[in-house]
Amino acid sequence: MAPNAAGEHPGEHQIIGVIGAGAMGRGIAQVSAQGGMNVLLYDAASGAAQKGRDYILGMIDRSVERGRMTPEAAAAAKGRIQVAAAIADLAPAALVVEAVIEDLEIKRQVFRAVEEVVARDAIIASNTSSIRIASIAAACRHKERIAGLHFFNPVPLMPLVEIVRAPATADETVRSLDALGKRMGRVPVVVQDSPGFLVNLGGRSYTTEALRIFSEGVASPAQVDAVMRDACGFRMGPFELMDLTGIDVNYPVSQIIFNGYYQDRRLATQPAHQAMMESGRLGRKTRIGWFTYDEQGTTLGPAAAGAEADMKPDDAPAPRVVLAGEDSRLARLFQDAGCEIAAADDGTSPIVAAPLGEDCTSLAVRLGLDARRLVAVDLTGNIARRVTLMAAPGAAATAVAAVAARLLKTGAAVTGIKDSPGFIAQRMRGMIANLGCEMAQIGIASPADIDTAMKLGLNYPQGPLEMTELMGTRATFDIMSRLHEITGDDRYRPSLWLRRRALLALPINTPD
Ligand SMILES: NC(=O)c1ccc[n+]([C@@H]2O[C@H](COP(=O)([O-])OP(=O)(O)OC[C@H]3O[C@@H](n4cnc5c(N)ncnc54)[C@H](O)[C@@H]3O)[C@@H](O)[C@H]2O)c1
């Protein structure tokens, strides 16, 4: 039969076997049934598949109550889910998705057993988050039909699915999974069989760079979170996100990916991360992590030492500032806040600058400025909502407070941090963008799929390549190059993908 407009082959792959009726298996069975496929659900634990089926039927009923599904469609979907008593009952399945516990030996046993019973052209896929597909496929005779099909939790609400292509996976297997994923109402992206696949790898920068900034004493968790939400448009800050997913989950994932990439410094987390895990401060589930929570899950406040997000200076707003150099945007910001711009350095007014990827110390030395009066302002991000200020060690607190008081007149919140090349926003977005570029360089997925996956899988306001364009490809390269130079840390080395497109002034998604 000819494929339809979506490239699907109607009538093909009618029966989907799902092994493991836990959190993920239930969701996969539900979206398969809602996509018009017949599902056979199997679980090794006695009664677990039946319990899983009952749970799914309840979820479908709730979709009807909420007006997301018609009663007719719900009845049809419910009728398509059957319980299988044994793996042998999955024989008619065209696709079997394995969602059992995360254990390589158990997964291999399951794959061997499935291969014994299904048709020669059936596809067998794993929903593993962290095990290499090639390691699981090693147990199978026909490796070309083995792939990863990595869904996100909760499956019915998270439309992304990663199709993981191992070295032996056939193109036909990938094509069929793409069509099946779309029938399940998912947005499939094809990714390489590598540590963390796409989304879990791409998400490393957000938490590890936040931890790096915190560990350097640059800013508190509350400050980092506020800047990422208000100035960069993220739905959640990195510290509240760690508390939500659980530090017992995100610390081990960080270690698996870091070691999987042979300890690439770009992926390194910080000792503070491990310390939180070992002290049992796991986040919301223990009611204390980076923040504390009451029994209802309401955030009570920061648990970790450090400043609150907002500056509330008692000082009078600076009447006059000196610009460190020509900068029309910076001049306009201060003029709009009712401040005079001094024609020349008067020796007393705060000196303001808007560096990219440079800290106040380096800037003061490079331009021969008085570091005690120098206050740097981050003009990247949404400065109508939040402005970040920083100063060098030894700077006059009165200069920073007077500049903060002046900028509060714009209506934006103001965050004051310690000296840092790239403040918070430039470092965080630079690291996300740079890792996205590196993922394109090493072929984890296509540039378009990298952006799609990071937006759908992690709710990022832009994909990492889009973020590069938004900040400016050249500006992103400059931020990373200066961070690299000032810190001397390989963690900040610019991706060659970014470097080439910045130097040649090409769009960031230009193929190699
Ligand atoms: N939970 C998540 O957020 C998430 C997200 C993406 C992927 N994953 C992956 O999905 C898989 C399942 O995770 P989960 O959260 O649904 O786990 P879960 O513990 O909720 O469910 C696992 C189910 O597998 C069953 N099981 C165990 N061994 C079995 C076997 N040999 N044969 C048949 N059934 C068996 C268990 O009885 C249980 O019902 C794991 O590989 C996990 O890494 C989980």
Q: How far apart are CA 109 and CA 211, in angstroms?
A: 39
449-465 mean pLDDT = 98
pLDDT of residue 271: 98
Q: Calculate the average pLDDT of the chain.
A: 96
Could you give the C-alpha distances from 159 to 156, 163, 182, 370, 411, in angstroms and in order? 7, 13, 10, 53, 37
Decide if pLDDT at 259 tops 80. Answer: yes
207-215 mean pLDDT = 98
The alpha carbon of 42 and the centre of ligand 1 are apart by a number of angstroms equal to 12
Q: How far apart are CA 35 and CA 37, in angstroms?
A: 6
pLDDT of residue 307: 78
pLDDT of residue 81: 97
Start-to-end C-alpha separation, the chain: 37
Please name the residue whose Cα sits nearest to atom 39 of ligand 1.
22
E strand or H helix at 95, and its extent?
strand 95-98
Own/partner contacts of 372-376, CB < 8 Å, gap of 24 or more, are 372/396, 372/399, 373/322, 373/348, 373/349, 373/399, 374/324, 374/350, 374/399, 375/350, 375/351, 375/399, 375/400, 375/403, 376/352, 376/423
pLDDT of residue 302: 86
Decide if pLDDT at 267 tops 50. Answer: yes
Could you give the C-alpha distances from 288 to 227, 298, 407, in angstroms and in order? 22, 11, 34
Q: Which of 53, 97, 101, 162 has the most ligand 1 atoms within 8 A of CB, as the residue to mutate?
A: 101
Q: Is 100 in the pocket of ligand 1 (CB under 6 A)?
A: yes
The alpha carbon of 339 and the centre of ligand 1 are apart by a number of angstroms equal to 60
Taking the whole predicted model, whether its pTM rises above 0.85 is answered as: yes
Options 32, 98, 127, 162, the catalytic residue: 162
Q: How far apart are CA 235 and CA 247, in angstroms?
A: 19
Cβ pair 23, 5 in contact under 8 A: no
Domain 15-193 fold is Rossmann fold (3.40.50)
Please confirm, yes or no, whether 250 is among the known catalytic residues: no
Cβ pair 70, 43 in contact under 8 A: no
Please confirm, yes or no, whether 216 is among the known catalytic residues: no
Q: How, if at all, do strands 146-151 and 160-165 pair?
A: antiparallel
354-368 mean pLDDT = 98
pLDDT of residue 303: 80
Cβ pair 434, 476 in contact under 8 A: yes
CATH number of the 320-417 domain: 3.40.50.720
- For residue 301, name the pLDDT band (cuts at 50, 70, 90): confident
Decide if pLDDT at 2 tops 80. Answer: no
Q: How far apart are CA 313 and CA 188, in angstroms?
A: 50
Q: Which of 87, 89, 100, 117 has the most ligand 1 atoms within 8 A of CB, as the residue to mutate?
A: 100
Decide if pLDDT at 5 tops 60. Answer: no
Residue range(s) occupied by CATH 3.40.50.720 in the chain = 15-193, 320-417
Best CA proximity match to 391, nearest among 428, 416, 358, 425: 416
17-41 mean pLDDT = 97
- For residue 13, name the pLDDT band (cuts at 50, 70, 90): very low
pLDDT of residue 305: 66
Q: How far apart are CA 329 and CA 316, in angstroms?
A: 23
Q: Is 110 in the pocket of ligand 1 (CB under 6 A)?
A: yes
Please confirm, yes or no, whether 273 is among the known catalytic residues: no
Task: Spell out the alpha helix ranges (H) of 161-203.
Answer: 171-183, 199-202
Q: DSSP class of residue 156?
A: G
Please confirm, yes or no, whether 200 is among the known catalytic residues: yes
106-121 mean pLDDT = 98
358-367 mean pLDDT = 98
User: φ and ψ at 321, to 5 degrees?
Assistant: -130, 160
Residue range(s) occupied by CATH 1.10.1040.50 in the chain = 201-302
Q: Tens digits of per-residue pLDDT, 135-148? A: 999 999 999 999 99
201-213 mean pLDDT = 98
The architecture of the domain spanning 201-302 is: Orthogonal Bundle (1.10)
- What angle, 0 to 180 degrees and rounded to 10, lies between the N-to-C axes of helices 48-65 and 71-79? 170
Decide if pLDDT at 10 tops 70. Answer: no
pLDDT of residue 1: 38
